[in-house]
Chain A
Amino acid sequence: MGAESFLAMRGIDKRFGDVRALNDVDFELEAGEIHALLGVNGAGKSTLIKILSGVYSKDAGSIRIDGEEFALGSPRAAIEAGIAVVQQHPELVGDLTGAENIFLGQEHRRSGLFSPVNGQDIRRRAAALLERFPIDVDLDRAVDDMPAVDREIVAILHALRLENARILILDEPTSTLTEREKESLFEMMQTLKAQGLAIIYITHHLDEVFEIADRFTVFRGGRRVATHGVAEAQREGISIPNLMLDSVAGDIFPPRSDRVDGEVVFEARDLSRQGEFEDVSFSARKGEILGIFGLVGSGVDELSKALFGVLRPDSGELHLNGRRVRFRSPAQALKAGIFLVPGDRRTEGLSMDENVIFNTTVANLGRASLGGFMRFGRNRRDSGALAERVDLQPRKLDRPLRGYSGGNQQKVVIAKGLYREADVYIFVEPTVGVDIGARAKIYTLMRELSDRAAVIVISSDCDEVFGVADRTVALYKGAPIGAPSREITRDHLLHAGIMGEAV
C-alpha cells in the first residue's frame, strides 16, 4: 500500500473476559468516503466503534489519523482527535430547539453556569454550521416537534459543532426513519462527504449500503472478513450475506424435526398494528419450531409483544387451541398458556438482584404456593431440577442473577418458562450476548420444548432463525415476505429479511 489512509487502525485486539471481541483487526478509512460497517450482532463492529470513540480502550494495536498516532483512551481524547460520534439513540432535550440542542453546553464562548444565553447568537452560529454543511432543516423548532430525521440531523450537527471534526460515526441512524426520511438523511451524508468528512456508517440494511456507501467492511466473529468497494462488489457479484454468515455455526443447532402433522396450537390471522407490522399470519404447531426473521425496526419486536398482550393489535385475530383469544396484559396471555422469553432479559425478564429460586417461581406463583403460602422446600427442589434441566452454570440457587453470565441469565428466563408449563413458547432474540456453549444448550432446549408445545423463535439473527426453526418466514418493514415455509433456504431468508425480496 502506498500512501497511508486517513484513518488507519492496525492489529486492534479487545478482550472481555474469555470473549475475544476483536481479533487482530485492521481498518482503513479515507477522507471524503462513506464506509459501511456490516456484521451480525456480536460480530465486533460496535466494539471497534467504541474503541474509536474512546469508550473502550484497545488491548493492542495502533490508531493513526492523518499520519498522527492517537491513543484515544477516553471520549474526550476521541473528540479532541476530531472523531464525532452519533449514538443510535441520541440524547436530546425535547423542549429546546434544534439550534439550542446543537450548542447545549456551549451557549457562550465562556462556558459556565452563568453565561448569557443569546438566542440570536445561537441561531447565527447554527446558520453558520448550516452554511458549512448545507442541509434543509428548520433548527428553530423544538426537537419534540421535529420529525425523526430532523432529530437525527440535529444529533449529527451536535456532533459536528466543533471545527476540528473530521471523522463522523453514525450508528444505525436509519432505524427509526421512514423511507422518505431516509432519503433526506442520505442527502445530508452526501453533503458532509463533499465537505471532505470521513463517515463510518453502521447498518443492518444491505440495500442502504449500495445506495449510499463507497466501500464496506464486513465483520464476523471479531475479525474483519472483507473490505470491498461497492462498485467492485456489484461488478463481481460478491454476496454480502455470504460474507456475514458464520459457516461454523451449523454445528450448534439440533437436528430438525420431520413431524409435519402436529396440531395447530397458536394461530395469528392478519395481525396488524399501525406503522409497526401488517397482515401477519402464521400458525404454530406442536412438534416443530416456527422461525420469524426480521431486522431491528422491521416490526418483529412489536409483533412479539402483540402476541403476548404487551401491545394490542389494531386488527387481526389470535387463536389458541382453536379458540379466539384477546390479551389485555401479559398476565392474561400467561394464564391462557403463552410464555414469552423477552428480547431484553435485563429489563423485561429478570429481577437481577434476586436469586434463581425467586426468579423461576415468580413466573408461576400459583404453582409455587399452597393456600397463598410459598412452598419453600418444593420451590427449591423445583428450581434445582429446572437449573439442572437448563444446565445452569454454576448451579447456585441462592446467587443473585447479577452474578451470572448472560448465557446463564438467559437459561434462568427459560427455566421460568419451563416452570410455567405453557402451550406456546415465544423466544425473542434468545441468544443476544450469550456465549456459544450456552447457545447450543438453549437451542436444544427449544427443540425439546417443541415436543409438547408450539415454539416460535423471533430474531434478527438470520443464522439463528434458519438454524433452529423448521419453518421460517421473514418480516421486512412490517410485512411478511411470503408465508412460513420449510422450503426457504438460508440465502432466501436473508434476502427476504434484508432486502424485502421474495423467493
Chain B
Amino acid sequence: MTTNTLFIRILAFGAIVAIIAGLFWSQNPAFLSTGNIRALMRHMSVNGVAALGLTFVIVVRHFDLSFPGVASFGAMTMGWLIAGGQPLWMAISGGLAVGLLFGIFNGIAVARFKLPDIVTTIATGGLAIGFSYFYSNGTSISRNFFMSGLLDINDGRFLGLDRPFAILLGAALIGILILNASRFGRAFYATGENETAAWYSGVPVNAMVVAAFALCGLCACLSVVLLVASSGAANVSAGTQLLMPAFAAVYLGAALFGRPSVLATLAGTMLMSLMLNGFTLLAIPYYYSDAIVSTVLILAITCFDPRISGALRRLIPARKEKLA
C-alpha cells in the first residue's frame, strides 16, 4: 500500500466517523459530551483488546473461534484466585496464563498437526467453557473483588485517561511495534501472504502461527480482565460477548484499510463502539447490539469485496477514469 492511498483511506475513515458522530449528535447532543466520550473509550477497550489478538490470527490467514470460551475460563480462573486470597497480580497472571496456554495448544494443533483451524478451535473453546465451570460449578465469582484492587483497573486513571483505555492504547502500541515495526511483524505477514514462499525465505512459519494463536488467547484474557473489572464479577459466560465484536472489528478494519493491521482493527473497533454507544444513547436495548454489528459487518464484507466493488465501479465508468 503506498502512503498516498493510506492517506486517502485515513481521510475516508475520518469522514465516516464524523458522519456517524454527527448523526448521533443531532439526535442527542449528549453524544459528544465528555462523559459519553469517556464511556465510549471504555467500551472500545474491552472489545479492542480482544480484537487486537484476533488480528494476528487473521494476519497469518487462520481463524480462532476459541477465544470467547478461553476468555471465560481466564475470567473464572482469575476470579477463583482472587476469591482464594491470592494477590491481584498473581490472579491476573493466572488468567492470562490460561489464554496463553490455550493459544499455544491451538497453534500447535493447527500448525504442527495440520488440524482444521475452525473446528479445532470450536472444540478447544468448548473445552475451555467446560473447565470454566469447575471453580464454582457455574455460579459467578465476586468474593474479595472489592478488596483486591481489581476494580481500580476499571476506575483508575492513567495520564489523564481511563485506565482501560490506557491499557488498550498500550496494547495497541505494542501490537503496532510487533506487527509494523519488528522483524516478527514481517514474518507474520509473510506467513499469511504466502506460506511456502515465507518458508523458502527462512521464516519459521509454524512458529509464527503458534505465536499468533498464543497472542490471540492472551489478548482475549486481558480483555476479559477489563470486562470483569468493570462488571465486578466473573462468570462463565463473560467471554461469549467478545466473539462478534472482535471479528467485526478485524474485518471491518481490514475492509476499510485494505488489509488487517493493528490500526485497521482499532479503526474497526472505534466505528463499532461509536454505533453501539450511539444506539444505546438512543435507548435501543443491549440485545440489538449484535444485530447492528453483524449487519454492518455483512455490508462491509460485501461492499468491499474486490469483485463486488469492481462490479459497482463498472456501473460508474466515468468516475473510474477520473481516478485513473
Which residues of the partner chain A approach B196 to less than 8 Å between Cβ atoms? 347-348
Within 8 A of B (CB), among A372-387: 372-374
| A369-B182 in contact (CB<8A) | yes
Q: In angstroms, how far is the closest chain B Cβ from the Cβ of A478? A: 23
Contact of A351 among B181, B182, B185, B194 (CB under 8 A): B194
A330, B186: Cβ atoms under 8 Å? no
Which single residue of chain B is at the shortest CB-CB distance from A333?
B202
Whether A148 is near chain B, meaning CB under 8 Å from some CB there, is no
Give the Cβ gap from A151 to chain B, nearest Cβ, in Å.
25
- Residue pair B182, A362 in contact (C-beta under 8 Å): no
Q: In the complex, what distance in Å separates the CA atom of A157 from the CA atom of B88?
A: 72
> How many residues on chain A are close to B (CB under 8 Å)?
32
Interface residues of A in 310-364 (CB under 8 A from B): 310, 329-331, 334-335, 340, 342, 347-354, 358, 361-364
Q: Are A365 and B183 in contact (CB under 8 A)?
A: yes
B181 and A349 contact, CB distance less than 8 A = no
User: Are the C-beta atoms of B199 and A361 separated by less than 8 Å?
Assistant: no
* Residues B199 and A362 in contact, CB atoms below 8 Å apart: no
Q: Does B193 contact A (CB under 8 A)?
A: yes
Question: Known: A351-B190, A368-B183. Contact between A398 and B200, CB under 8 A?
Answer: no
Beta-carbon nearest neighbor of A396 in chain B: B2
Query: A366 in the interface, Cβ–Cβ < 8 Å?
Result: yes
- Chain A residues with Cβ below 8 Å from B181 are 373-374
- Secondary structure at the B interface, as helix, strand, loop or mixed, is helix
Q: B175-192, CB under 8 A of A: which get 1 and which 0?
A: 001000111111101100
Contact of B202 among A331, A351, A354 (CB under 8 A): A331
Known contacts A365-B186, A368-B183; decide if A329 and B197 are in contact (CB<8 Å).
no
Contact B183 A416 (CB under 8 A): no
Interface presence of B26 (CB below 8 A): no
Whether A374 contacts B186 by the Cβ 8 Å rule is yes
Q: For chain B, residues 205 to 244, give those with C-beta under 8 angstroms from any C-beta of chain A.
A: none
Residues of B contacting A349 in the complex (Cβ-Cβ under 8 angstroms): 197, 200
B182 contacts A374, C-beta separation under 8 Å: yes
- With beta carbons under 8 angstroms apart, the residue of B2, B189, B204 that contacts A354 is B189
Is the Cβ of A330 less than 8 Å from the Cβ of B183?
no
Q: Within the complex, what minimum Cβ distance (angstroms) separates A304 from chain B?
A: 11
Residues of B within 8 A of A362 (CB): 186-187, 190, 198, 201, 203
Q: A41 to B108: give the CA distance in the assembly, Å.
A: 42
- Known: A348-B197, A374-B181. Contact between A331 and B186, CB under 8 A? no
The interface residues of chain B lying within 8 Å CB-to-CB of A331 are 199, 202-204
A373 contacts B189, CB within 8 Å? no
CB distance from B61 to the nearest CB of A (A): 12
Residues of B contacting A350 with CB < 8 Å?
A: 194, 197
Residue among A348, A365, A368, A373 making CB contact with B177, cutoff 8 Å: A373
B237-273 vs A: 1/0 string, CB under 8 Å?
Answer: 0000000000000000000000100000000000000
- Beta-carbon contact of A363 and B2 below 8 Å: no
B34, CB-defined interface residue at 8 Å: no
Which residues of the partner chain A approach B183 to less than 8 Å between Cβ atoms? 365-366, 368-369, 372-374
Question: Are A351's CB and B197's CB within 8 A?
Answer: yes
Chain A residues within an 8 Å CB radius of B202: 330-331, 334-335, 363-365
- Residue from A348, A352, A369, A399 within 8 A of B200 (CB atoms): A348
Q: How far is the CA of A348 from the CA of B202 in the complex (A)?
A: 12
User: Whole-angstrom distance from the CB of A124 to the nearest CB of chain B?
Assistant: 39
Most buried by A among B183, B190, B196, B198: B183
Q: Is B137 an interface residue (CB 8 A)?
A: no
- Most chain A C-beta atoms within 10 Å of own C-beta, residue among B187, B193, B202: B202
What residue in chain A is nearest B184 (Cβ atoms)?
A: A372
A373 to chain B, nearest CB (A): 5
Please tell me if the beta carbons of A351 and B193 are within 8 angstroms of each other in the complex: yes
- Whether the Cβ atoms of B2 and A398 lie closer than 8 Å is yes
Q: Which residues 202-230 of A have a CB within 8 angstroms of B?
A: none
Q: For residue B42, give the distance in angstroms from its CB to the closest CB of chain A.
A: 31
Rounded to whole angstroms, the CA-CA distance of A363 and B3 in the bound complex is: 24
Q: Which of B189, B193, B200 has the most CB of A within 10 A?
A: B200
Chain A residues 457-502 with CB under 8 Å of chain B are none
Chain B residue, CB-CB nearest to A352: B194
Give A305 Cβ to nearest chain B Cβ, in Å: 10
Q: Residue among A308, A366, A368, A369 with the most chain B CB within 10 A? A: A369
Contact B193 A330 (CB under 8 A): no
Nearest chain A CB to B60 CB, angstrom units: 13
Neighbour of B194 across the interface among A347, A363, A366, A399, CB < 8 A: A347
Chain A residue numbers with a CB within 8 Å of B201 are 330, 334, 362-363, 416
Q: Is the CB of B182 within 8 A of A373?
A: yes
**Of all chain B residues, which has the CB nearest A332?**
B202
Contact between B187 and A365 (Cβ–Cβ < 8 Å)? yes
| Docked pose: A362 CA to B183 CA in angstroms | 8
Known: A348-B200, A350-B197. A361 touches B186 (CB 8 A): yes
* Chain B residue at minimal CB-CB distance from A374: B181
Contact of A342 among B2, B182, B200 (CB under 8 A): B200
Q: Which residue of A lies closest to B180 (CB)?
A: A374
- A365, chain B: closest CB distance, angstroms: 4
Known: A373-B182, A374-B181. A340 touches B187 (CB 8 A): no
Cα distance, A308 to B186, chains bound together (Å): 22
A contact residues around B186 at 8 Å (CB): 358, 361-362, 365, 368, 374
Q: Which residues of chain B are near A363, meaning CB under 8 Å? A: 201-202
* A→B interface (CB under 8 Å): 308, 310, 329-331, 334-335, 340, 342, 347-354, 358, 361-366, 368-369, 372-374, 398-399, 416
Binding site for A on B (CB under 8 A): 2-3, 177, 181-187, 189-190, 193-194, 196-204, 259
Q: Give the top 5 A-B pairs by smallest Cβ distance, nearest first.
A: A351-B193, A365-B183, A369-B183, A331-B202, A334-B202
Q: Provide 9 A-B residue pairs closer than 8 Å at the C-beta atoms, listed in order of the A residue.
A: A331-B199, A342-B200, A347-B194, A347-B196, A348-B200, A349-B197, A351-B189, A365-B203, A369-B183
Known: A342-B200, A361-B186, A372-B184. 20 other contacts (CB 8 A): A310-B200, A331-B203, A334-B201, A347-B196, A348-B196, A348-B197, A349-B200, A351-B190, A351-B198, A358-B189, A362-B203, A364-B202, A365-B187, A365-B203, A372-B182, A373-B177, A373-B182, A374-B182, A374-B183, A374-B185
